[in-house]
Amino acid sequence: MKKTTMKPIQVVRTWVRRQPPKVKVLLAFLIAIAALTFIRMVVYDHDNLFIAAEAVHALGISVLIYKLATEKTCAGLSLKSQELTAIFLGSRLYCSFVMEYDVHTLLDLATLAATIWVIYMMRFNLKSSYMHEKDNVPIQYVVIPCALLSLLVHPTTHHHVINRILWAFCVYMEAVSVLPQLRVMQNTKIVEPFTAHYVFALGVARFLSCAHWILQCYGWAARFTPSIWRRVILNMESKESKTSSFVIDSNEGERTTVWRGRKMVATRGALLTALGYGLWPPIVLLSEIVQTFILADFCYYYVQSVMGGQLVLRLPSGVV
């Protein structure tokens, strides 16, 4: 009897599937580190990662539009996730208009318009196919905690406090906006192709956004020696100085203007970071990491399904 040989990809997939959960988590962590290292080597301007994340999100919404327009059904989709997405996109679009206004604004505007169209179709034209009983995450349980956290922890930039709170709110909302969609998939256990493509696109967008913040913070921290950082902190906390800013030199000799209690801007005019200091930077990073890991499980089974040639994704119990 002829022995069938497995393809290398099948061998790896079978080996990974047999590993205990702790080993799978370790493998995922190592893959994430390798991906971050690769991205850092090939992407010089880390701001492009955020643009790529928004573009991938827009692509995911386009997949949904195609599904709704061709199949005339919204089965398997969470209306609440779309509404949460519209809320954080609307907040971020407003903040983008008043705080930076660049290509991010245009991408967010296009994505928000597409999301509103999806919401309209689900609420009216395709209402009969909406799985209301499966979409059972109370939306207030998501919005209220994000609103309260944004009141307590928000950026320390020079913008009006309301704008800073709204910016924090949209960051927190983005991190958890996919939860109702995951709940729907958990209830149905079967995810049809277009919905799976959309959620996978969200996972990729979340990872790129997370990589953007991690590499941005790493690059900023690496620019200065500990002695320079001490000077930054002392000057920021100083109450005696009457100036609103001061100039420091990085390790590479680049002169940088630091606004006391505000965002930091390079002398050539480019925004280095809007993180500021205090609780906001670690909370932002935590939010990005959380929203990435929320979708990690699903993305693993999505890739496994695609590699196996399966059109319909079947989720095991306990996933998402």
What pLDDT digit, counting tens, does each position of 88-122 carry? 999 999 988 887 666 778 888 999 999 999 999 99
More confident residue, 134 or 262: 134
* Residue 279 or 317, more confident: 279
The Cα 297–Cα 182 span in angstroms is 11
**Three-state DSSP class for residue 101:** coil
Q: Among 17-31, 126-140, 195-209, name the one with the lowest average pLDDT.
A: 17-31
Q: What is the model's pLDDT at position 8?
A: 67
Asked whether the predicted pLDDT for residue 223 surpasses 80, the reply is: no
Query: HSE-up of 181 (CA within 13 Å, CB side)?
Result: 26
What pLDDT was estimated at residue 47?
Answer: 73
CA atoms within 13 A on the CB side of 191: 28
- Provide the sign of the torsion angle of the four alpha carbons 93, 97, 99, 100, taken in this order: positive
Q: What integer pLDDT is reported at residue 232 of this predicted model?
A: 52
CA dist., res. 299 & res. 207, Å (int)? 11
Q: Kindly tell me the burial class for residue 239, based on how many C-beta atoms sit within 10 Å of its own C-beta (0-12, 13-18, 19 or more).
A: exposed
Query: Of the given ranges (40-54, 132-146, 189-203, 278-292), which has the lowest mean pLDDT?
Result: 40-54
What whole-number distance in Å separates Cα of residue 94 and Cα of residue 100? 10
Whether the CB-CB separation of 74 and 198 falls below 8 Å is answered with no
Please say if the pLDDT value at position 54 is more than 50.
yes
Q: Pick the range with the lowest mean pLDDT from 177-181, 196-200, 284-288.
A: 284-288
**CA distance linking residue 48 with residue 55, whole number of Å:** 10
Q: CB of 107 within 8 A of CB of 60?
A: no
- Contact between 211 and 185 under an 8 Å Cβ cutoff? The reply is no
Helical segments of 223-295, H only: 226-237, 280-294
185 membership: H or E segment, kind and range: helix 179-188
Tokens of 68: 């709704």
pLDDT of residue 233: 52
Task: State residue 293's pLDDT score.
Answer: 81
Burial classification of residue 286, based on how many CB atoms lie within 10 Å of its CB (0-12 exposed, 13-18 middle, 19 or more buried)? exposed
Mention every residue, 6+ apart, whose C-beta is less than 8 A from residue 255. 247, 248, 249, 267
Cα-only R_g, the chain: 22
* pLDDT value, residue 270: 33
pLDDT of residue 269: 31
Which span out of 95-99, 172-176, 301-305 was modeled with the highest average pLDDT? 172-176
pLDDT score recorded for residue 144: 96
The residue count for the chain: 320
Whether the Cβ atoms of residue 25 and residue 183 lie closer than 8 Å to each other? no
Q: Are 218 and 245 in contact (CB under 8 A)?
A: no
Higher pLDDT, 152 or 248: 152
pLDDT of residue 220: 58
Q: What is the model's pLDDT at position 244?
A: 44
**The pair of three-digit structure tokens given for residue 313, joined into one six-digit string:** 């994704």
pLDDT-derived band at 200 (thresholds 50, 70, 90) equals very high
The predicted pLDDT at position 249 comes to 47
